Amino acid sequence: MLQYAIRRILGALPIAFITITVCFIIMRAAPGGPFDGERPLPPVVLANVRAYYHLDKSLIEQYFIYVGGVLRGDFGPSMSSYDHSVSELLAIGLPYTLTLGFSAFVIATFIGIVAGMVAAVNQNRWPDYLLVLVVMIGVIIPNFLMASILQLVFGVYLQWLPAGGWRAGEITSLVLPVTVLAWPHAARISRLMRGSMIEVLGTNYIRTARSKGIGQRLILARHAIKPALIPVVSYLGPGLSYLLTGSLVVEQVFGLPGIGRYFINAALNRDYGLVLGTTILYVILILILNLIVDMIYAWLDPKVRYR
């Protein structure tokens, strides 16, 4: 298992390298620049600024300078937030993004697994039909539209919850954004869990357990849940990645001080360093999550062997 994990980590390094290279080229190839504004800078000032950010060098020289800084853990200075480096901005916004993403992940995973089990046990009855309705709502409506609807209903009309902003220590600030992120995630998990549980409940060893007089709860707890979780686990890694990256729009809509707001502002202002730093951070998170999911696979399914 340890050797497999090491091989996966070594195999992920080229993926991260290719991602950095492609993003670097795309950002430099995009029209405009970080210092092209309505009021252009004087030529002397512009030349000094470009020299400070190494923009006066060739594209290849800029690339190797940036990659060398990344290997040292330095993502370079921000071109739009002059008082902070990219690493400092990521350190400020990352706790908010992780809090939002992991809260939605835990809640959605629990609700999705329980709802999928209930729907599978009550197949073709009213709990199953209700689940299908809720799942369709969560999957069809995009998160930015759902966020606007919840803001309007619960934040403006009813005034039960804050419509936006972050208040330290107040959980109410997270209720609406977590709901927007968790709903489609829980819907997908419940669909996977329902289909997998129905398949497991129809296997021969489950029929044998029922013929021995074992109750439904013991069958679910001892024999059905663990194999039924395998398809769900395969989705959890990409699902959590989706929550962390999908929070970009939610953070912008609800005005949360996470990485999403920095990333969107950096893209609009052509802040090369901040866009690349955010992209690299998300790539690292996705690779780590996929590795963790593969490790969990071996625990859930004894037939899985990594060699």
Amino acid at 59: L
Q: What is the pLDDT of residue 303?
A: 61
- pLDDT tens sequence across 178-200: 888 888 888 888 888 888 888 77
Nearest partner of 7 among 291, 292, 303, 293, judged by Cα: 291
Q: What gap in Å lies between CA 188 and CA 163, rounded to an integer?
A: 26
Q: Map residue 174 onto helix, strand or coil.
A: helix
What residues form DSSP beta bridges with 77?
A: 85
Q: Residue 74 — φ and ψ, nearest 5°? A: -110, 115
- The answer, yes or no, to whether residue 64 has pLDDT greater than 80, is yes
Amino acid at 230: I
In the chain, where the domains are located: 93-256
Confidence of residue 217 (pLDDT cuts 50, 70, 90): low
C-alpha distance from residue 106 to each of 116, 181, 183 (Å): 15, 11, 12
**Stretch 290-299: mean pLDDT, rounded?**
70
**Stretch 218-222: mean pLDDT, rounded?**
66
Q: What gap in Å lies between CA 169 and CA 171, rounded to an integer?
A: 6
The tally of CA atoms less than 13 A away on the side-chain side of residue 301 is 16
More confident residue, 151 or 270: 151
Q: What is the pLDDT of residue 65?
A: 83
Q: What is the pLDDT of residue 39?
A: 61
Mean residue pLDDT of the chain comes to 77
Query: What would the two tokens of residue 301 be?
Result: 């399914």
C-alpha distance from residue 215 to each of 56, 115, 128, 192, 222 (Å): 74, 20, 21, 24, 11
**Stretch 4-15: mean pLDDT, rounded?**
75
- The answer, yes or no, to whether residue 304 has pLDDT greater than 60, is no
**Stretch 25-44: mean pLDDT, rounded?**
70
Q: What CATH code is assigned to 93-256?
A: 1.10.3720.10
Lowest mean pLDDT among 59-68, 105-114, 273-282, 286-295: 286-295
- The answer, yes or no, to whether residue 32 has pLDDT greater than 70, is no
The tally of CA atoms less than 13 A away on the side-chain side of residue 28 is 17
pTM of the model: 0.75
Q: What gap in Å lies between CA 198 and CA 190, rounded to an integer?
A: 12
Neighbours of 219 (CB within 10 A): 18
Q: What is the pLDDT of residue 148?
A: 84
**Stretch 162-176: mean pLDDT, rounded?**
77
Confidence of residue 305 (pLDDT cuts 50, 70, 90): low
